[in-house]
Amino acid sequence: MRKAFLPLVVVLMALYVSALLLIARAPFESTMGLVQKIFYFHFPPAVLMLLSAIFCGLMSAAFLIRKRQAFDRIALAAAELTVLYGSIALVTGPLWARKAWGVWWVWDPRLTMSFLMWMIFVSYLILRKYGGPGSETLSAGLAVFGMANAPFVYLSVNMWRTMHPKTSVVPTLPVDFATPLWVSFAGFLLLYIVLLTARVRIAEQQALLDQLYVDSDL
Amino acid sequence: MTPRRMTWWLLLFTVGVAGMGALVLAQPGQTEFVPVSQLPAGEQLPAARLLVAAYAFVWIAVLAYVWLMWRKLGKVEREISELSSQMAKRRP
């Protein structure tokens, strides 16, 4: 963690500065105006939540098959970050929706499935904390189930009628809007990598400590 | 219809229309359709506040997570140092 602290500070500062620049310099969208800029803090965490859920599911599947603790430690870190990024997406979305749709929340397929996915990974963390011995195997199964949900969350806007913008919006954005979005995405991705690395390192030290207790017979 | 009767009918019609107009104008004004610029300050939705709230939440969430990790690391390091000192005491 001590080694990861400097990159973490650099990434956080870069994210902070880029966010301020994005707000100040990015063009205003004609119908939504200023509130559209929430999109730059909503889309990257939402996409990273899905990618993180898939990553966590893959690592959990690898743990179930290979029984190596290293996979489990990565899966745990990815689950925590899925919840963190999911929380950001689920809070910033309604802040945008209040202005754009006139309501904070609607139970439409994309929103409901995203909330469901977030709850699956919260359940994963609760199970890890209070599940006792063997909870890592149970939670790994839960993570595989959570991963299976990810494609449905992504495609829900195309499969069902929904108020949420479709998946075709981002690829067709004009350069003026797309550039700040991908800068913001890069910042959130870097932050994800640094936080994941630091969290895995802490889990490794915890495992080392547990092993020391066993070896020392204390 | 004689011109005189026609005049009476026209007069009656005009009075009726004028009366209905007066009745409509006497009604209290429509309150649902108000231009957004004329809304009271309490009912307006300033986008800047929502944007700042979203930005603040991102930072609060990330910093809270970093703080939790920092605490967890501190606990692990403390336990390692306690264990090392206990092991050192037990050595002959």
pLDDT-based confidence at residue A121 (cuts at 50, 70, 90)? very high
CB contact set of A170 (below 8 Å; sequence gap of 6+): A43, A178, A181
Residue A216 scores a pLDDT above 80: no
Question: B72 is written with which tokens?
Answer: 């967890």
A90-109 residue pLDDT tens: 999 999 998 888 889 999 89
Alpha-carbon gap, residue A200 to A75, rounded angstroms: 9
Q: Specify the range with the lowest mean pLDDT, choosing from A113-122, A156-165, B21-30.
A: B21-30
Query: In this complex, do B61 and A84 lie within 8 Å of one another by their Cβ atoms?
Result: yes
> pLDDT value at position B31?
61
Residue B87 scores a pLDDT above 70: yes
Q: Which residues of B touch A202 (CB under 8 A)?
A: 69, 72-73, 76
Alpha-carbon gap, residue A86 to A80, rounded angstroms: 10
pLDDT-based confidence at residue B36 (cuts at 50, 70, 90)? low
Q: Can you name the residues that pair with A125 across neighbouring β-strands?
A: none
Q: Which of A1, A15, A23 is nearest to A45 (CA)?
A: A15
End-to-end CA distance of chain B: 133
Query: In this complex, do B86 and A216 lie within 8 Å of one another by their Cβ atoms?
Result: yes
Q: What's the alpha-carbon Rg for chain A, to the nearest Å?
A: 19
Residue A189: phi, psi to the nearest 5? -65, -45
Q: Does B56 touch chain A (CB under 8 A)?
A: no
Alpha-carbon gap, residue A182 to B31, rounded angstroms: 44
Alpha-carbon gap, residue A196 to A190, rounded angstroms: 10
> pLDDT value at position A113?
93
Average pLDDT over residues A52-70: 95
